[in-house]
Amino acid sequence: MNILLGIRMAFAGGRESAARMALMAVGVAVGVPLILYALAAVPVLQSHTDRLAWHRTTAQTAPTAPDPALWLAVTDHYQGRDIVRVHVAALGPRPPLPPGVDRLPGPGEKLLSPALAALLPEVPDDQLDNRYPGRPAGSIGAAGLLMPGELVAIIGHAPDELRTVPGAVEIRGIEQPGEGLDLAALWGIFFSMIAVLIIGPVVVFVAMTTRVGGPRREVRFAAVRLAGATRLQTAVLAATETAAAAIAGTLLGWLAFHGFRPAVANVVTLGHGTPIFPADVAVPASRQLIVLFGIPLVAVLTTLVALHPVQMSPLGVRHRARRRPPTVWRLMPIIVGVLGVWLVARAQNAPQYHESSQLVQGTLSLMFTLSALSILAGFFLAGAWVCLWISRGMARVTRSATGLLVARRIAADPYSTFRAVSGAAVAIYVATLLGFAAAAYEQPEHQDTASVLDAGVVAVHVQGVPEDRLGALASPGTVVARIGPGDQIVVPCADLARVSDLACPLPQYEENGDDSQAFLRARDLFILPYPGASAADHIFQPMSYAEPGPTAGRLPVQTLLIPTDGSAAAQERIRTLAATVVPQSRSKTSTELTAGPLLSATSMAALLPYALIFVLLVTACSLTVSVITGVLERRRPLAVLRASGVRLGDLRRIVLLETGAPLAFTVLLGVGLATLVSLVTVPPQDWILPSASFLIGLGVGGLVAFAVSLIALPFMDTATRLDTVRFE
């Protein structure tokens, strides 16, 4: 009965109640998909790992079929895009099958991914198609692809033919998904930041929307208490009203999460340059249930906490006693959190950190998470203290009645003032923190460096193939690098200098020596595997360099450095010829040797635009809700002011100042706090200001979000009409 009465009361206030319920539902509907997308980050990476499983197939893979097969997998490139090329030969009627195919191609056949099948007719054969001999005999399904645009070819051979190809191995099974992500490593600083600083503000935003029209509802429920309702009955009535809007918003948000998955998948590339499958943007059912039940629970708890004064003293609702003003002690959680983050950063930057146990690393990650939570909690506590000082400053410098009204209003309740802008301030704090982290990864040691290989030169790693098979690749100016005992690269230094920026004598590795960085650049030219390793790669890392001696011609060839005219077509023709002559070969160009680390591409710089969009969305929604709430909460006093002669424009300026002034200063607080956190977490040599474009985008985005919130101002005319005074 109480629940039915609560639903009736929720809609008994006419259009105002309906608008309040709709605003609460929309606020929750915006928050739910944001939380679900944040929770989908780890499952997306796990799906990426699972889809890569069959690429890791080796001779040691556990059997998955009765009959064996010959297998040679190579990761190739075309115009900067990865191409997986797999040579197979069945050794029986029931060989192991990669996912996405129902049979292995026979001799003279090939299976192509849809993207590769569409690309081949657009490119001259000698630049791409000749790498995949045979006639198309089918397509590779989505189960065998990393993403819809992945380029994959499975090429069939006769067993006797493939046995003669170096690198081909006999397999009895295909590697299956099951390699779990190292969550102890993933839930380090980056994903702790995602969990604490992105999910947290969205939950705060949801709680804030639940408080829309809170004071007016408190008066209503105080009347219910005075009419004889018990505390439990009053709580049920209030919870029913909130739960109805929260449940409706949660269902809308859940539908929006699934509806916008294709759009989200279209912008997530994980560093590969092409979108992922929409089905991979998923949240485990258990976590979805936690969100679907947890968000309405948070909304209800917010209402019950706000209802506490009504429960304790319903007569005091109309004449609420002023709360004690906030003090400087509210800064203490920030100090404790910053100190904890600094200690964790020092420990993680220490040389012995990577040698420590997983327990130690997990403990440090937990300490970082708790410290980040302490900073976030301190931010909320300190916000009211900052708003108090804003009011005192405005009262001192303003000379207008509007400014004095705003100053007195903020001073009377700095807690509610900060609560109105807290969602936007925290969102700006999050974006600034991510901006500093991305800027750190833009430093030279984290980013692209000049290629050691001259432009137009193709480095073909033939991995010890007999020299008599390399005649077709030999051309005037080709530099031959051989492999000597102890993983030593034997190459004429003068010849190598012709096709690279290396100088003679070639650098030698010296531990903690001045030449270490030069040696590492030289090593990048010959090292195998590089990102995108396959079963055909024999892990190789040169340990030293030497000039060829009298017997150098007997050493196996490791790499051919082949000059071209510099055109993309000429380089692709060399790649195609190498793939035909030496199927297991791998090739590099100067463009690929400038590729930065995967972490920078997939976590920080690549995610920064999406973080900025998140900030703008949360900021715009938070400010809109706060402006609407401010008008609804003070409908009566604003109407009385208008009836007494205050112009409508002055009333709008009051609302603007009450939102704009605290927003500006709390945003500065968030930016300053993010700067301080970055200073204590990023090593001094890596610390740098975010790019000017990011700072400008953040500032303009904040102004645009504030402008969006002004859509609520036209409703002030309706809310403060003279008949409103009569109604009140």
- The residues spanned by each domain of the chain are 1-57+185-315, 63-171, 334-447+598-728, 457-595
Q: Which helix (H) or strand (E) holds 560?
A: strand 557-563
Report the alpha-carbon distance of residue 208 to residue 199 in Å, rounded. 14
Q: Could you tell me what percentage of the chain is helix, strand and coil, using 3-state DSSP and rounding each to the nearest 5? A: 60, 10, 30
Q: Are strands 479-484 and 488-490 parallel, antiparallel or unpaired?
A: antiparallel
DSSP string, 486-532: TTEEE--HHHHHHHBS--SSPP---TTSTTHHHHHHHHHTT-B--SS
Element (H, E) at 602: none
Q: Is the dihedral of CA 703, 706, 708, 713 positive or negative?
A: negative
| Residue 718 scores a pLDDT above 60 | yes
Q: How confident is the model at residue 461 (pLDDT cuts 50, 70, 90)?
A: confident
Q: Please identify which residue in the block is written with the tokens 């791998």.
A: 586
| Average pLDDT over the chain, rounded to an integer | 78
What does the pLDDT read at residue 255? 93
Work out the percent of the chain whose per-residue pLDDT is above 90: 12
Q: What is the pLDDT of residue 184?
A: 43
458, 564 contact by CB (below 8 A): yes
User: By percentage, how much of the chain surpasses pLDDT 70?
Assistant: 76
Q: How many other CB atoms are there within 10 angstroms of residue 596's CB atom?
A: 15
Q: So what's the pLDDT on residue 101?
A: 92
pLDDT at 615: 62
Asked which of 134-148, 295-309, 435-449, 565-579 is least confident by mean pLDDT, the reply is: 435-449
3-class secondary structure, 441: coil
Question: Pairing between strand 479-484 and 109-112?
Answer: unpaired
Task: Quickly tell me which residue has 């060839």 as its tokens.
Answer: 557
pTM: 0.71
- DSSP codes of every residue in 175-200: PPS-----HHHHTTHHHHHIIIIIIH
Task: Give tens-digit pLDDT for 351-375.
Answer: 676 666 767 777 877 788 788 888 8
Is 596's pLDDT higher than 50? no
Q: What angle do CA 610, 252, 618 make, to 5 degrees?
A: 35
Q: Which of 241-255, 523-537, 615-629, 650-664 has the lowest mean pLDDT?
A: 523-537
DSSP code at position 69: E
Between 220 and 497, the higher pLDDT residue: 497
Closest CA to 524 of 449, 584, 600: 449
| Nearest alpha-carbon partner for 16 in 306, 298, 307, 217 | 217
Q: How far apart are CA 68 and CA 173, in angstroms?
A: 7
pLDDT tens digit string along 515-557? 466 777 777 778 776 555 555 566 677 888 888 888 888 888 8
The number of beta carbons lying within 10 Å of the beta carbon of residue 235 is: 21
Spatial contact of 194 and 365, defined as CB atoms under 8 Å apart: no
